[in-house]
Structure 1
Amino acid sequence: MIEQLQQMGVETHVIYTEKPFDIRKWNAVKKLLLSKQIDLVHAHGTRANSNILWASKKLKIPVIYTIHGWSFHPDQKPLVKTLRLMGEKYLTSRSTLNISVSQSNKESGKELIPSFESVVVNNGINSSKV
């Protein structure tokens, strides 16, 4: 996708990581947000949000978090599920706005995170272009 965006003339920046809450990347994110004078961050998914939230909050930049599914699942080992649930609770409680991609996505979050609030944007895909 990066190459396609670049071909379209869209400025892109990659701070590569495969880990959520990768604190080694947080200062690089903060530098990028400052250098580009970013006013709003929209994070898609747990890993993205967990790696931009610290810098955004330090700089008082609002964060929109789109949840495309949860990082916790019923079939996970209890410790893994608990840690991921704690992470999602942290992220959703500190984001300026949470977006769920379906009503069931919102309900499954609310079931395990009672304080969770979100706006539902069903799929967010213009099906007439598919």
Structure 2
Amino acid sequence: MNQPEPLFSSSRDFRVWRYDVEHSELVLRTDDNPDEPVELLFECVLSLHFDQLWFTGLVVGRAEDAILQSPTVDIPHLKIELGTTGHTGHVVCRRLTCVGGTHPDGKVLWTVTAGRPRSRRHPEIPAVERA
């Protein structure tokens, strides 16, 4: 297995702020300075696993993408590795956004998005066209 591509690291304290099953969203937010929060917004969450709900000195990396397969479509998902001293975890999702402030009013600092779904019958044709 390849080492995760580094995306972000911080010495700040993050914790699980919100997980919304209905909208498949997970938010990790800094907990140490309420005047200058930073949020990591995971969208279209397929799965998650970690053994603690807080991260001190968080390191975020992108591992090899996971592919959700159906009979007709391959849907790429990001596999985001979360690490801190003493424990690790991961989130499988379609998009990760880092927000300075709070979502949706904060400033988007960066975003990483999984590739577009591909047809299994005709791999050269995207399964979803953008309007």
Give the TM-score normalised by the residue count of structure 1: 0.26
Which of 1 and 2 has higher RCO (CA within 8 Å, sep 6+)? Answer: 2
Which has the larger share of helix?
A: 1
